Structure 1
């Protein structure tokens, strides 16, 4: 059954299913051409194209995050194949789901593009719709390219039945298509941040050129990446304090460029939002405790905690270091935080272990606030000691930056109605810096990262936060990338960019070998080495997609 989700059959079934739906629901016998000719009909497919963002990003983002330096294995060993690679094969269900969802989204955009000619609307509106759909089509192709390399390019709707022969384009051809589509529409896009917009196109063009620069070793691509990143930045200064940036009441703020939109009024039930708030940290217990429901898919690694310095206020802004009587009490402005019972506490004393004396002093200060079922888990500077309790509920702090207090009373892992931020100005700065590293201009790269680190409130002492390793003073490109990637990890933890970032810079295997505890246990060469002797640097093309395609498709190395 799952084979039918692959583009070769699914896209044909999607249209035939759509036609059937219209036949059944439209008693007047309206066909597709007539239905999409009306604005009411045509906007349904535009809405579906935007809705596909929720399909692709609304569930556990294994491909964007798993098997990197920043997360350790979850206690249930869920998707061990993605986390440590040893059991990653071409029949992996999560790889297939991502592959299929992207191609399904592409087919939806193809339908919108095809019927744009017939819809009865103002020319300017039609041009805007067309630009948005072409960008989204290129965007989804890029999502696939980041994971699989050269891809099957699908740029037309399947109207005459399933297409059984779809060749896989080369990496160069795949990039050429994506860039051509994005550059072809950038000037027709508007400024509305709730939709695909011109700034988003500039941002993603920077990322596409940057990725191509690394993949095809072309310096001119790094120059283009700088150009587009600069246009995406457009003079913007990083000015919103980190905790305020992620405040649940401050969504779509000035720094956000593009996000997958959610609203409690726009989902069929409070359990049909997204699961981003539930992914990053241990299980916090059952519904009776009134905490958020954690899936515990990704536990922030000990190594990641050590990327922070004592002076970095983003640590407290990223992690929930004190859990009150109910988890979401933290966001309740009507409650006095000095009187609410405390259920859990995650102390860290920088540069040394948290001692019994520290514990007694804290307990004396909090007094009656300490709940009867209180737990505390101090940070430990020995990785083995820190990991000793990670199978236990609440054992490490959870990431709070994606919390959804509006659904606090819904005990469901997909209760969140927070937007999923896909692009923001801080990343545009980082893309510019990375392109500078590609050009061996480490001084300029350091300056652009420093502009993000200079965010108000980042440094606890009121001064400017310094990177943990110098980018500007790097002796070579590898050192500069190491320093850059550590800073990127802290700024963008939990956002869906880490695996593609490590892959494109050629640092995936190296960072896993150095910072990923689970991969170190099996041996990095054992983890990455495929049955053909090659490393698993890309994801496998789903075997079912290869089997059903009548054109011979070469599997990625390692699989």
Structure 2
């Protein structure tokens, strides 16, 4: 048995519920351990496991998105090490987030599996154990992608252990797939209701096989297995939900959602800026005071789309207007609250890449309320021409970047202004976790792209193109050819399409790391990382994996625990 330090301590048993229907309840039964021996108590324990997802995905996004080709800092600074690599070390700000939160989830899952052998029998017991193993596998998958080999811990601990060993990445993948294969036959086969079901398990299995397929220890059939599993998830379902409805606030439980972290206004009642998620907070500029009708958190002005990210979209791609708030009304939320938008004044317009002079002139002629043109060569106030509003924009003025709106939450309360310098005066995570929108971890659009990537790597380009072009068909409004049908495919084609479809959805760093393109594409497209030398660490090793957090190493009495090679 591998030894393990309880990095995050013994968990409380009163974590917040995952959703309206996944709730904990202990009616003064006695100790938690006694309560878990009852069917309702065990159900409560399993529900606590779903709550651990809130801290994995609800807080800071740096380990998911920073330091990639699609986002770089704007007016406010991101954590220096994770954003720019040169100073990345085991003590860097934010590097421990997934280590802490994922091991919290793993310990809770272990507790659930342990009590499943002691609690009273129920009709759902076996199903709940399958759910626990899925949640444990998901946590280990995040860990192994981020840090490489990590300790495999399968026992329930009730006191701190001060020494632990490090497993290899290969061993971690074996354990992940073992958990998923054991979960698959026992979880529900019903449609998605917020709990793990067979479709969610198959989807994660597909992505695990796809990711392992790039490793030196890959199984020979990993890519073909990933493609087969992804097609089982798809099961003939076309992408018939419009992209606008996929990202529409309040529509997170649409027909294409495979798995999500569920939040609710009720669960945030006692901490309306601390218990939700912060996905609505990132990917845009500061927009002014909340009293003026601008968004609750006013954006962070840190993770901002690069020129590359913005240039991915082409004329006819409905994802442009559904991803970005390309027209901002005088009151931002008029977009969501005004049934008749014809009376709403457009205060800011962000010109897309494909606009011609004719299209610009036509827009200005029909939107004279943007402001009077001062001179023939001068655009009116509020008109942002193409090339002026990416993360590379020279000025940090309000509205200087195009806001990402696909995560907007009109029901979220205002949660405070951002820090000007995240490295010296970091935002307290509780100040921006105000959104109660569900956080979608897996959806069918990405499954099509998993299938495309898997088929491509398995040598089946025709099927890879078929899966990818289905995503593009929906992007064109459901009309084949509304945007060009692709006739050739490579890994860059796939990454470009993932960028369009999944912008901001907490996948990008993993995409680049998985495909071996992190250094090349970040240097090519991120204006704050201009040389591959930024990735060079100890003894010439590249900083691809993140370092094992120094705080974990300091607590470990096992001196034979290697740090990752570049640190």
Q: TM-score, normalization: structure 1?
A: 0.88
1:555 equivalent in alignment to 2:563: yes
Q: C-alpha displacement at 1:276, in angstroms? A: 0.7
Q: C-alpha displacement at 1:423, in angstroms? A: 0.2
Contact 1:436 1:444 in 2 (8 A): yes
- C-alpha spacing 1:364/1:187, structure 2 compared with 1 (3 Å): same
**Separation in 2 of the partners of 1:135 and 1:155?**
13
Q: C-alpha displacement at 1:282, in angstroms? A: 1.0
**Separation in 2 of the partners of 1:458 and 1:103?**
42
Matches within 5 A, 1:475-514: 480-514=490-524
Contact 1:379 1:386 in 2 (8 A): no
Q: C-alpha displacement at 1:315, in angstroms? A: 0.8
Q: Deviations over 1:86-126 (max 9, x none)?
A: 1111112311122111101111111111111222241x311
**Separation in 2 of the partners of 1:417 and 1:134?**
26
- C-alpha spacing 1:455/1:348, structure 2 compared with 1 (3 Å): closer
**Separation in 2 of the partners of 1:206 and 1:310?**
32
The residue number in structure 1 matching 2:10 is 14
Q: C-alpha displacement at 1:463, in angstroms? A: 3.3
Q: C-alpha displacement at 1:29, in angstroms? A: 9.2
Q: C-alpha displacement at 1:377, in angstroms? A: 4.4
SS at match of 2:76: coil
SS at match of 2:537: coil
Matches within 5 A, 1:463-482: 463-466=481-484, 470=486, 472-474=487-489, 480-482=490-492
Q: TM-score, normalization: structure 2?
A: 0.87
Structure 2: where are the runs of 5+ without partners?
15-24, 373-379, 417-430
Q: C-alpha displacement at 1:410, in angstroms? A: 6.3
Matches within 5 A, 1:94-493: 94-122=94-122, 124-159=123-158, 161-190=159-188, 191=190, 192-216=192-216, 217-267=218-268, 268-272=270-274, 273-292=276-295, 293-334=298-339, 336-348=340-352, 350=354, 358=360, 362-368=363-369, 375-381=381-387, 387-407=392-412, 413-455=432-474, 457-458=476-477, 463-466=481-484, 470=486, 472-474=487-489, 480-493=490-503
- C-alpha spacing 1:274/1:29, structure 2 compared with 1 (3 Å): closer
Moved over 4 A (4+): 25-29, 368-371, 408-412
Q: Deviations over 1:158-212 (max 9, x none)?
A: 13x2222321111211110000110111111113431111101000000111111
Q: C-alpha displacement at 1:30, in angstroms? A: 3.6
Contact 1:127 1:188 in 2 (8 A): yes
1:540 equivalent in alignment to 2:542: no
- C-alpha spacing 1:540/1:456, structure 2 compared with 1 (3 Å): closer
The residue number in structure 2 matching 1:49 is 49
SS at match of 2:40: helix
SS at match of 1:311: coil
**Separation in 2 of the partners of 1:165 and 1:368?**
67
Bigger CA drift: 386-395 or 306-315?
Answer: 386-395
More helix by share: 1
The residue number in structure 2 matching 1:22 is none
- C-alpha spacing 1:269/1:442, structure 2 compared with 1 (3 Å): same
**Separation in 1 of the partners of 2:545 and 2:125?**
38
**Separation in 2 of the partners of 1:167 and 1:350?**
55
Q: C-alpha displacement at 1:379, in angstroms? A: 3.6
**Separation in 1 of the partners of 2:27 and 2:197?**
38
**Separation in 1 of the partners of 2:104 and 2:182?**
23
SS at match of 2:259: strand
Structure 1: where are the runs of 5+ without partners?
1-5, 20-24, 475-479
Contact 1:60 1:279 in 2 (8 A): no
Q: How many residues align?
A: 527
Q: Deviations over 1:26-63 (max 9, x none)?
A: 99894444221123332332222111100110012111
The residue number in structure 1 matching 2:422 is none
RMSD over aligned CA atoms reads: 2.8
SS at match of 1:69: coil
